[in-house]
C-alpha cells in the first residue's frame, strides 16, 4: 500500500515483478538499474543463490521526481518464481500498488505461466485484492529466442492464455536485450500512479 | 528429418534450456536425445555422445539436490540483506519504533533468518509493550531451528526469573505446549507459581497479551460477500483490539457489521501461526478527511481464540 505523507507531499509506492521461475523478472530489474541511472536512488539488492536464481527478492528504489506536486518514489521488487517459494512471494507481495507479470515465451513454459498467474491471483485475493482491480501489465519475454530456432509461443497464443479476461496492456519483448523493458515499466507506473491519484486524491 | 539432424536439434534445445536455467526442460530433452541415440546403432560417435549426455543429466540431478537442500534450510543472509529486510518489511515506522522493530524481527523469521531474528527478539523482550510477543517468537525461532530443547530451557529460565508476570508466563507456557512436538517434552513444563486465572482474569489476559496479528479473515453471512471469508490487513493493533481500514469501494461488504455484532470463526493471520477465534465489532466509522477519506475504520475486539 502506498505511503502518502500529506505534509511533505511525498508518495512511495511498490511495484512487484511477478511470474514463473526463470522468466526474466530479475533481468528486467537489472536492465532498469543499468539504463535508468538518473532515476535510481539506491543500490539494487538481489538476494539470490546459486549465482542467478532469486531466493528471496530483488529490490530497486527509484525516484520519479515531482508529479502533480508530489515527490514520487517507487520501489521495484521481484519475487522468487520457483513453486516452492510461495510463502516468500506472498510476503513480498504485501502492500503492492502495481504489478508487472513477466511471462516466458518459450513453448515449454506455457503451463508455468498460467500457474504463476493463478498463484498471483490467489495471493492477491488473500490480501483482499482483486487481480482485475490492481494496476497490472503483462510482458511476454524472451521473444529473441524465436530467432534462434527455439520453439516460442505466438503473442496471440499468449494473449489468449493470459490476457483474455484481464485485457491489460501487454508488451512482447526481450529483457536480456532490453527490448520494451522501459516501456513495460512506464506503462505500469502510469497505471499505478493513476490508480493512486484516484485513491489518494493528491492533486495540487 | 534425418536422425542425425533430429538429435542435433534436440540437443541444441537442451543446451539452450540448460543455459536458461530451465533444468527440468533441459533434462527432458537430453533424455529424449539419449533415447534416440540408444535406439540406433548407426549414430556416429554414439558412445561418446551418450557419455556426454549422461554427464549433463548427472550434473542437473546434482544441482537439483543442492536446490532442494537450499529450499529446506534458508541460507543465512548478509548483514546488509538482513537490515534491508527489517527496513522493507516493517510497516509501522510511522506509528512506533518498537512496533516497527518487532515487525522487522518477524520479517527476518519469515525469511528463515532465525538466528538474526532471535537477536532482535531478545532486544525486544526487555520492552514491556512487546515482551510476551517477543518471547513467543523466541521460542518459535528455537523450534524452527530444530532446537526444541533450547526452547524448553529458555522457558524454564524465564520461569525462574522475574521478567514476566504470572499471566504472561502462563500465556507463554500454553503457546509452547501447543507448538512443541510432544516427544520433545521430557517432563511437563513448569507452571508459573500462582492460582489458576479466573474467567475474568483470563479475559483480561487475552486483552493484555496478544500475538502480533497481521491480517484477519472475516466470514460474511450476508451481503455481497455472503459465504466468503475476506481477509483484511490489520492497520493497527493494541492488545486484542484490531483496527482495520476498509476501502470505500468495499463498504457494502461490511454494511451488516454494526457495532456489537459478534463474529465467530474469525481467522487470525500472525507471522508465525494462523488461528481461529471470535470477536465483536467495537467501532465502525467512516473517515471524514485526509488521504483515506471515505474509507471505513473497523475495530474488532478479540474475545476468544
Size of interface A-B (CB pairs under 8 A): 78
* pLDDT score of A202 more than 60: no
CA-CA distance, A10 to A2, in Å (whole number)?
Answer: 10
Best probe of the B interface among A5, A9, A25, A55, by most B CBs < 10 A, is: A55
* pLDDT score of A76 more than 70: yes
User: Nearest 5°: phi and psi at B297?
Assistant: -105, 120
Which pLDDT band, with edges at 50, 70 and 90, does B81 fall under? confident
- Classify burial at B221, counting beta carbons within 10 Å of its beta carbon; exposed 0-12, middle 13-18, buried 19 or more: exposed
Q: What is the pTM of this model?
A: 0.71
* Mean pLDDT in residue range A155-180: 96
The interface pTM score, or ipTM, of the predicted complex is 0.80
* Mean pLDDT in residue range B8-26: 91
Inspect the interface and report whether the beta carbons of A151 and B13 lie closer than 8 Å: yes
**Rounded to a whole number, what is the distance in Å from the CA of A88 to chain B's nearest CA?**
7
According to CATH, what is the number of the domain B215-304?
Answer: 2.40.10.220
CA-CA distance, B232 to B268, in Å (whole number)?
Answer: 10
Which pLDDT band, with edges at 50, 70 and 90, does A165 fall under? very high
* pLDDT score of A90 more than 50: yes
pLDDT, position A24? 95
* Mean pLDDT in residue range A57-80: 88
CA-CA distance, B272 to B181, in Å (whole number)?
Answer: 16
pLDDT, position B291? 66
Please report, for chain B, the start and end positions of each structural domain, with discontinuous segments joined by +. 3-72, 79-208, 215-304
pLDDT, position A88? 82
Inspect the interface and report whether the beta carbons of B80 and A95 lie closer than 8 Å: no
User: In percent, how much of chain B has pLDDT > 90?
Assistant: 24
The CATH fold of domain B79-208 = 1.25.40
User: In percent, how much of chain A has pLDDT > 90?
Assistant: 59
Asked if residues A108 and B25 have their Cβ atoms less than 8 Å apart, the reply is yes
* pLDDT score of B204 more than 50: no
Residue of A nearest to B66 (CA): A50
- The residue ranking higher by pLDDT, A191 or A69, is A191
pLDDT, position A189? 94
* Mean pLDDT in residue range B228-241: 82
Residues belonging to chain A with any Cβ–Cβ distance to chain B shorter than 8 Å: 1, 3-4, 6, 21-22, 45, 47, 49-50, 52-53, 55-56, 59, 75, 82, 84-85, 87-88, 91, 94-95, 106, 108-109, 125-128, 145, 148-151, 199-202
What is the average pLDDT score of chain A? 89
Residue of B nearest to A149 (CA): B13
Query: Which of B7, B212, B5 has its CA nearest to residue B117?
Result: B212
Inspect the interface and report whether the beta carbons of A145 and B16 lie closer than 8 Å: yes
CA-CA distance, A159 to A120, in Å (whole number)?
Answer: 17
C-alpha B81: how far from chain center:
18
Which grid cell is B233?
490487513
* pLDDT score of B78 more than 50: yes
Inspect the interface and report whether the beta carbons of B291 and A94 lie closer than 8 Å: no
According to CATH, what is the number of the domain B3-72?
Answer: 1.20.58
Inspect the interface and report whether the beta carbons of A94 and B89 lie closer than 8 Å: yes
Query: Which of B295, B225, B301 has its CA nearest to residue B262?
Result: B301
Which pLDDT band, with edges at 50, 70 and 90, does B207 fall under? very low
Best probe of the A interface among B29, B73, B88, B244, by most A CBs < 10 A, is: B88
User: In percent, how much of chain B has pLDDT > 70?
Assistant: 88
* Mean pLDDT in residue range B244-257: 86
pLDDT, position B208? 47
* pLDDT score of B130 more than 70: yes
Question: For B92-108, b where at least 16 C-beta lie within 10 A, e where not — what string?
Answer: beeeeebbbbbbbbbbb
**Rounded to a whole number, what is the distance in Å from the CA of B156 to chain A's nearest CA?**
32
According to CATH, what is the number of the domain A3-200?
Answer: 3.40.50.300
* Mean pLDDT in residue range B172-182: 87
pLDDT, position B89? 87
- The residue ranking higher by pLDDT, A201 or B21, is B21
pLDDT, position B283? 83
Amino acid at each position: 500500500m502506498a505511503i502518502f505523507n500529506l505534509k511533505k507531499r511525498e508518495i512511495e509506492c511498490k511495484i512487484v515483478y511477478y511470474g514463473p521461475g526463470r522468466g526474466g523478472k530479475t533481468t528486467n530489474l537489472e536492465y532498469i538499474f543499468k539504463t535508468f541511472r538518473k532515476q535510481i536512488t539506491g543500490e539494487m539488492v538481489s538476494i539470490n543463490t546459486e549465482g542467478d536464481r532469486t531466493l528471496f527478492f530483488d529490490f530497486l528504489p527509484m525516484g520519479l521526481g515531482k508529479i502533480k506536486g508530489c515527490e514520487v518514489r517507487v520501489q521495484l521488487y521481484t519475487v522468487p518464481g520457483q513453486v516452492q517459494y510461495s510463502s516468500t512471494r506472498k510476503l513480498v507481495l504485501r502492500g503492492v500498488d502495481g504489478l508487472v507479470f513477466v511471462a516466458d515465451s518459450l513453448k515449454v513454459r506455457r503451463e508455468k505461466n498460467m500457474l504463476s498467474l493463478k498463484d498471483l491471483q490467489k495471493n492477491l485475493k488473500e490480501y483482499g485484492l482483486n487481480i482485475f482491480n490492481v494496476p497490472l501489465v503483462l510482458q511476454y519475454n524472451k521473444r529473441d529466442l524465436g530467432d534462434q530456432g527455439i520453439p516460442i509461443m505466438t503473442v496471440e497464443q499468449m494473449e489468449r492464455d493470459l490476457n483474455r479476461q484481464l485485457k491489460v496492456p501487454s508488451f512482447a519483448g526481450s529483457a536480456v536485450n532490453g527490448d520494451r523493458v522501459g516501456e513495460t515499466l512506464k506503462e505500469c507506473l502510469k497505471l499505478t500512479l493513476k490508480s493512486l491519484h484516484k485513491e489518494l486524491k493528491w492533486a495540487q | 528429418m534425418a536422425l542425425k539432424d533430429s538429435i542435433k536439434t534436440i540437443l541444441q534445445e537442451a543446451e539452450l534450456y540448460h543455459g536458461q536455467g530451465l533444468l527440468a526442460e533441459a533434462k527432458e530433452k537430453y533424455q529424449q536425445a539419449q533415447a534416440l541415440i540408444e535406439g540406433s546403432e548407426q549414430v556416429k560417435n554414439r558412445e561418446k555422445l551418450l557419455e556426454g549426455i549422461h554427464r549433463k543429466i548427472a550434473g542437473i540431478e546434482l544441482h537439483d539436490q543442492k536446490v532442494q537442500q537450499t529450499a529446506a534450510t534458508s541460507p543465512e543472509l548478509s548483514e546488509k540483506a538482513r537490515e534491508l529486510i527489517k527496513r522493507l518489511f516493517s510497516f509501522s515506522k510511522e506509528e512506533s519504533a518498537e512496533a516497527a522493530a518487532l515487525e522487522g524481527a518477524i520479517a527476518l523469521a519469515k525469511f528463515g533468518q532465525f538466528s538474526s531474528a532471535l537477536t532482535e527478539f531478545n532486544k525486544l523482550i526487555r520492552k514491556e509493550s512487546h515482551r510476551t510477543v517477543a518471547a513467543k517468537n523466541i521460542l518459535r525461532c528455537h523450534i524452527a531451528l530444530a532446537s526444541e530443547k533450547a526452547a524448553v530451557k529458555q522457558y524454564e529460565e524465564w520461569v525462574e526469573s522475574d521478567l514476566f508476570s504470572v499471566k504472561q508466563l502462563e500465556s507463554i507456557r500454553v503457546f509452547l505446549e501447543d507448538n512443541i512436538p510432544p516427544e520433545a517434552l521430557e517432563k511437563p513444563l513448569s507452571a508459573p507459581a500462582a492460582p489458576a486465572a479466573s474467567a475474568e482474569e483470563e479475559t483480561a489476559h487475552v486483552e493484555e497479551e496478544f500475538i502480533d496479528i497481521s491480517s484477519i479473515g472475516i466470514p460474511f453471512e450476508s451481503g455481497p460477500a455472503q459465504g466468503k471469508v475476506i481477509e483484511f490487513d490489520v492497520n493497527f493493533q493494541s492488545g486484542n483490539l484490531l483496527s482495520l481500514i476498509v476501502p470505500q469501494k468495499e463498504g457494502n461488504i461490511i454494511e451488516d457489521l454494526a457495532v456489537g455484532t459478534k463474529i465467530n470463526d474469525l481467522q487470525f493471520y500472525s507471522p508465525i501461526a494462523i488461528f481461529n477465534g471470535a470477536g465483536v465489532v467495537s467501532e465502525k466509522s467512516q473517515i471524514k478527511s485526509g488521504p483515506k477519506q471515505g474509507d471505513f475504520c473497523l475495530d474488532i475486539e478479540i474475545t476468544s481464540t
